A and B are shown apart, each in its own frame.
Chain A
Amino acid sequence: MEIVLSAAIGILAASGVWLLLRPRTFQVIVGLCLLSYAVNLFIFAMGRLMVGVPPIMPRGGFIDPTAYADPLPQALVLTAIVIGFAATALFLVVLIAARGLTGNDHVDGKEPEA
Chain B
Amino acid sequence: MIEENLLLILVALPFAAALATSTMSPRAHDAAAWVSGLFLAAGGVVLALLHGPIGAGQVVRGQIGWVPAPGLDLSFRMDGFVWLFVSLIFGIGILVLIYARYYLSKTDPVPRFYAFLMAFTGAMVGMVLSGNILMLVVFWELTSILSFLLIGYWHQGQAAREGARMALIVTGAGGLCLLLAMVLLGQIVGSHDLDRVLAAGDLVRAHPLYPLVLGLFLLGCFTKSAQMPFHFWLPGAMAAPTPVSAFLHSATMVKAGVFLLVRFSPVLGQTDLWFHLVTGTGMATLVLGAFFAIFRHDLKGLLAYSTISHLGLITALAGIGSTGAILAAIFHILNHAVFKASLFMAAGIIDHETGTRDMRRLGGLRHAMPVTASLAIVASAAMAGVPLLNGFLSKEMFFAAAADWNNGSWLDNALPYLAVLAGAFSVAYSLRFIATVFFGPVATDLPRAPHEPPALMRRPVEALVLICLVVGILPGLTLGPVLHLAAVSVLGPDLPYTDIALWHGLTLPLAMSGVALVAGLLLYAVFGRQIARGPEGPPLLHRLRAQKLFERGMFRLTWTLPRLGLRLFGTERLQPQLRLIVLLALAAAAVPLWGVLAPAAHPLSVPLNPAFAAMWGAGAACALGAAALAKYHRFAAVILLGGAGAVTCLTFAWLSAPDLAVTQLLVEIVTTVLLLLGLRWLPKRREEIAADRLLPARLRRARDFVIAGTVGLGLAAVAYVMMTSPLIPNVGDWFLRNAYHEGGGTNVVNVILVDFRAFDTFGEITVLAIVGITVFALLRRFRPAPESTTRSEEEAGLRDPTLAHALLVPSVIMRWMFPVLIVLAATLFFRGHDLPGGGFSAGVTVSIAILLQYLGHDLRWVEARLTVLPIRWMGVGLLIAGGTGLGAFVFGHPFLTAHARYVDLPLIGQVPAATALIFDAGVFALVLGVTVLMLIALAHQSLRIARLRERDRLAQKEREAA
Contacts and interface: CB of A to CB of B under 8 A. Distances in A.
Interface in A41-78: 41-42, 44-63, 65, 68-75, 77-78
B287 to A, nearest CB: 61
B623 A85 contact: no
B838 to A, nearest CB: 9
Nearest to B753: A75
B237 interface: no
B667 interface: yes
Contacts of A29: 675
A57 B708 contact: no
Contacts of A30: 626-627, 630, 637-638, 641
A96 B620 contact: no
Given A26-B630, A54-B656, A63-B737, A5 B651 contact: yes
A interface, over-half SS? helix
27 contacts: A2-B606, A4-B616, A11-B624, A16-B623, A17-B711, A19-B630, A21-B578, A22-B704, A31-B627, A33-B671, A37-B645, A48-B723, A49-B606, A59-B740, A68-B736, A71-B748, A71-B752, A72-B735, A74-B657, A78-B663, A86-B930, A93-B938, A96-B779, A99-B681, A99-B682, A100-B783, A103-B786
B748 A9 contact: no
Given A1-B608, A7-B620, A81-B663, 13 more contacts: A1-B606, A11-B716, A17-B712, A30-B626, A34-B623, A34-B641, A34-B644, A55-B749, A70-B730, A93-B778, A96-B678, A100-B782, A105-B682
Contacts of A26: 630-631, 634, 637, 679, 682
A31 to B, nearest CB: 7
A101 to B, nearest CB: 7
Kindly name the residue among A17, A23, A46, A62 whose own CB sees the greatest number of chain B CB atoms within 10 A: A17
B948 interface: no
B662 to A, nearest CB: 10
Contacts of A105: 682-683
A50 B740 CA distance: 22
Kindly name the residue among A18, A47, A104 whose own CB sees the greatest number of chain B CB atoms within 10 A: A18
Interface string B592-635: 00000000000111111100110010011001101100110010
A10 to B, nearest CB: 3
A79 B674 contact: no
B748 A55 contact: yes
A86 B844 CA distance: 12
B737 A65 contact: yes
Contacts of A49: 604, 606, 655, 723
Given A50-B656, A74-B659, A14 B717 contact: no
B705 interface: yes
Interface stretch (B13-21, B57-65, B265-273, B761-769): B761-769
A93 B724 CA distance: 41
Contact of B620 (A11, A69, A112): A11
B212 interface: no
Contact of B774 (A12, A33, A58, A90): A90
B719 interface: yes
A21 B737 contact: no
B709 interface: yes
Nearest to A111: B689
A42 B717 CA distance: 11
A81 B606 contact: no
B462 interface: no
A96 B681 contact: yes
B416 interface: no
Given A2-B604, A81-B667, A97-B778, A57 B740 contact: yes
Given A9-B719, A21-B708, A72-B732, A83 B767 contact: yes
B785 A100 contact: yes
A58 B746 CA distance: 7
B656 A79 contact: no
B718 to A, nearest CB: 8
A93 B708 contact: no
B792 interface: no
Contact of B771 (A40, A48, A86, A103): A86
A78 B723 CA distance: 19
B739 interface: yes
B683 A99 contact: yes
Nearest to A65: B733
Nearest to A2: B723
A56 B750 CA distance: 10
Contacts of B739: 57, 71
Given A2-B723, A9-B719, A74 B660 contact: yes
A1 B609 contact: yes
Kindly name the residue among B620, B707, B784, B836 whose own CB sees the greatest number of chain A CB atoms within 10 A: B620
A79 B758 CA distance: 11
B180 interface: no
B586 to A, nearest CB: 9
A56 B775 contact: no
B834 A37 contact: no
B753 A103 contact: no
Nearest to B709: A14
B656 A7 contact: no
Contacts of B740: 57, 59-61
Kindly name the residue among B609, B634, B708, B713 whose own CB sees the greatest number of chain A CB atoms within 10 A: B708
A6 B720 contact: yes
B114 to A, nearest CB: 46
A89 B691 contact: no
A110 to B, nearest CB: 9
B747 interface: yes
A12 B623 contact: yes
Given A47-B732, A99-B683, A8 B620 contact: yes
A7 B660 contact: no
B417 interface: no
B248 interface: no
